[in-house]
Amino acid sequence: METLLINNISEIKKSIKDWKKLNCSIGLVPTMGALHKGHASLIKKAKEMCDKVVVSIFVNPIQFGPNEDYDKYPRTIEKDKNLCEDIGVDIIFAPTPKEMYGENITLSNTELSFVCPPYNIVDCMCGKSRPGHFDGVATVVTKLFNIVEPNYAFFGQKDAQQLFIIKKFVKDLNINVEIIPCPIIRDYDGLAMSSRNTYLSEDERKRALTISQALKKIKSLYSNGITNANILFDTGISILDKNIELDYLEFRDFNTFEKVDKVKENTLVAIAAKVGKTRLIDNEIL
């Protein structure tokens, strides 16, 4: 089956309308493209659960800070299309920024409406070093939900804070989409799959591996009964390569997103760090 590549909103809405008439269930996998095995696992899950599957590919300008990698973020639409076709995706929705946000506007909150999840879960962790990032994510995800009207939307657990935030604003705003979290997919060497891994040199990749190793060690200590977050923190730090720049290593209750001193079931252990110029994140939910 051929995957349809659609760039404009009115066109995809026509397909959605036809599907709705036929009572098809619709799954949406929102991505920024540069698809890898992690995305593939989300798409496969969507295929299992839904009659029709849409993969959106959109490098969303409003979730990047002025000094971040918006311009150099990998764009590999031909390769992405092949991957989608292989899995049997019905539609790739790949709009331009102009199609999504209109012309001649600054993409700032003085001219655009934003969806703003609560500050207490937005201003910490990744949000602390990426101000405005999660408002940009929440806004584009809301737009995609309104355009595609999916029954289910699929998000990777690698972006754990994003996943928590999306579930929160979907609930707060009564959005009629069920969020399906999908487990982290790791490469052969344990590195969490990410489109940004392509930025890493061979040497950087070796150092980056200490992130997943630190998480693995924390998980194993927890399995052996150690629940003191300070002890687990120190162990994690001791495993991380000395030449990577730690942004955070945090322990949070994944039901409430509050920090915990004593680790328990459903505690999120999350790391963000810069390896060279590349910012990577990874986590485990215990």
Which are the catalytic amino acids?
Answer: 39
Q: Does the footprint of its own copies cover residue 25 (CB under 8 A)? A: no
Please give the structure tokens belonging to residue 28: 């949406």
Q: How far is the CB of 144 from its own copies (least distance, A)?
A: 8
Which residues, including other chains, have CB under 8 Å from residue 69's CB and lie 6 or more apart?
A: 196, 199
Residues ≥6 apart with Cβ < 8 Å to 37: 185, 187, 193
Token pair belonging to 284: 């485990």
Q: Does position 119 bind its own copies by CB under 8 A?
A: yes
- Type and span of the H or E element at 272: strand 267-275
Shortest Å, Cβ 111 to its own copies: 5
User: What is the closest distance, in whole angstroms, from the C-beta atom of residue 113 to its own copies in the complex?
Assistant: 4
4, 24, 61, 109: which one binds its own copies (CB under 8 A): 109
- At 84, list the tokens: 């989608």
The residue from 68, 172, 189, 234 that contacts its own copies (CB under 8 A) is 172
Q: Annotate each residue in 192-221 with x if it binds its own copies (CB under 8 A) or - if it does not, as one string.
A: ------------------------------
Question: In angstroms, what is the C-alpha Rg of the chain?
Answer: 19
Binding of its own copies at residue 174 (CB under 8 A)? yes
Distance CA 151, CA 117 (A): 21
Nearest to 29 by CA among 7, 47, 14, 13: 47
> How far from chain centre, in Å, is Cα 118?
18
Annotate each residue in 134-163 with x if it binds its own copies (CB under 8 A) or - if it does not, as one string. Answer: ----xx--xx--xx-x--------------
Do residues 53 and 46 lie in contact, with contact meaning Cβ atoms separated by under 8 Å? yes
CB of 123 to its own copies, least distance (A): 9
Q: Of residues 4, 9, 180, 239, which one binds its own copies by CB under 8 A?
A: 9
Complex with its own copies: residue 139 or 283, whichever CB lies closer = 139
Binding-site size for its own copies (CB under 8 A) equals 27
Q: Decide whether 16 or 184 has the Cβ nearer to its own copies.
A: 16
Q: Which residue has the tokens 């991957």?
A: 83
Q: How many Cα atoms within 13 Å fall on the side-chain side of residue 221?
A: 20
Question: Which residues contact its own copies (rule: CB under 8 A)?
Answer: 9, 109-120, 138-139, 142-143, 146-147, 149, 168-169, 172-176
